[in-house]
Amino acid sequence: SAIKPVFVDESLTGMDTFDLAMELGASGVALKTCKGHSMCLLEVARCHEENIPYAVQDLTNPSLAMLHSVGLAARIHTVMGVEANARQFFPAASDDVRSVHRDIVDRPNGAAKTHSLQGTGLGYQMEKLG
């Protein structure tokens, strides 16, 4: 990590592995909403407290899972937005949420816009999704 940043990724499963990663020289952490929203919030708080950079990386989470990941990343201070590659790997997998969240699913001009994430819960607008 002295030459290039190294973020602990899949092996980050709790605060004990967070500690271990930092002891071993990791530069930062990759948050994954698929591992749990509460855990992500705890990790964000710790990163802020200890000035540790972090990213949100949920590579193959389509549909509602992608909305969760993108929504979290939009509301915290990540290193580089969010990595959400489900759109490339499974292009039709988010069709069920496209009608309400088109600017997240299609990313006009390369940027996801999260204005559609609003209302109760995580802002999915389930009543409109049917």
HEC string of the chain equals CCCCCCEECCCCCCHHHHHHHHHCCCCEEEECHHHCHHHHHHHHHHHHHHCCCEEEECCCCCHHHHHHHHHHHHCCCCCCCEECCHHHHCCCCCHHHHHHHHHHHCCHHHCCCCCCCCCCCCCCCHHHHC
Total-model pTM: 0.89
For the segment 44-66, the average pLDDT, to the nearest whole number, is 94
pLDDT tens string 83-126: 888 888 888 999 999 999 999 999 888 888 999 999 988 999 99
